[in-house]
Amino acid sequence: MKFKTFAAFVGPSVFMMLLFIAAPLVSVFIQSFQVTQPILERVEVETCTPGFLTQTCTTETKTIPVLDDNGKTMTQTAWVGLQSYRNVLQMDKFWEAVGNGSWNDIMQIDFWKALRFTLSFTLLTLPLVIGVGLAIALAVNNASRTIRGPVIFVSLLPFIITPVIGSLSIYWLFVGDGILTAMMERWTGTNISMFAQAWTIELLMYFYRVWHVAPFAFVIFYAGLQTVNMDTLESAVIDGASRWERLRHVIIPHLMPLIVFIALIHLMDCYRVFEEIVGFRSQAHVISLQWLTYDFMTPDDAGNRAISRASASAMLTMIGIVFLLILPLRRTWRDHKGSAH
């Protein structure tokens, strides 16, 4: 292929990636080392009480922002190095809590609280998504042709639903006098509040993530099952291999590249969990790293946003994703080198 033809095909994609991925990433990286604050000045303000003969006036010094010609607050940007990262990590409080051996004190620090949930959510749902997706794929692959189409359609429904809508649907089923909560209360005879403590909220989040993402794994695995060597399977049957042995020694090794692919996609997507936090309204009990970045960007009562801390939180989130992807990427690289030789 000529270079001009190659550039014509690849150029637009490279340009869009540089414009919408690389440039914002560089901007966030730079902003994590900067702090932008309003320029303030101290002025004397005289306040007088109503009246003519009994009027009294007092003078006090106030700090107010400096406005430009358009009436907007003037700001100044200063390089602060790693200060924003220190503000996010709060390592002094973290090491103090570690020294005291207090897990509760560590969980009072927003970043470490968000990191704990994000890692738990990502690593616990990964094997469940792969296992449930593979189980559905095997069931559909072994089903008769007459029911295979409807089963595939029903299995894909959770994946089609918008994430926020899906999480809100689960939330409404359990919150307050939701249908499922009312049924459990009638069955147990006790009042049940699924959103009064963190662990029940997390369980519902795990359930929703597996319910929502397992159909994606099912589609990938089902496509992979169509390429399994039937001669190898027949040979295994003749040799007396059980279903479990055929699955373990024939099917799973054949699907291993797809398992790694699903793991990569799941790790990248799940570590950025945000929809569940919003849909389940769990901010009081459970937060994620992505939601923490969003919270830093939310204006306070004065309209100020912690852009520097939000940038530092975003960079720390990206570093976490890179660390999670190292193992599956190393396996993919080894498989690629092995197939090349």
- Give domain status of residue 170, yes or no: yes
- Give domain status of residue 154, yes or no: yes
Least confident of 53-57, 264-268, 285-289: 53-57
- Give domain status of residue 175, yes or no: yes
- Give domain status of residue 95, yes or no: no
- Give domain status of residue 316, yes or no: yes
Model pLDDT for residues 171-230, shown as the tens digit of each residue: 888 887 788 888 888 888 788 788 888 888 999 999 999 999 999 999 999 999 988 888
Q: State pTM to two decimals.
A: 0.82
CATH for 267? 1.10.3720.10
Look at residue 62 in the predicted model and tell me its pLDDT: 77
- Give domain status of residue 99, yes or no: no
184 with 192: CB under 8 angstroms?
yes
Please give the Cα distance from 19 to 14 (Å, whole number): 9
* % of the chain surpassing 90 pLDDT: 30
Look at residue 304 in the predicted model and tell me its pLDDT: 72
Domains identified in the chain, total number:
1
- Give domain status of residue 266, yes or no: yes
Domain span at 295: 110-340
Model pLDDT for residues 11-44, shown as the tens digit of each residue: 888 889 999 889 988 999 999 998 887 777 788 7
Give 1's pLDDT tier (boundaries 50, 70, 90): low
- Give domain status of residue 119, yes or no: yes
Give 80's pLDDT tier (boundaries 50, 70, 90): confident
β-pair type (57-65, 40-48): antiparallel
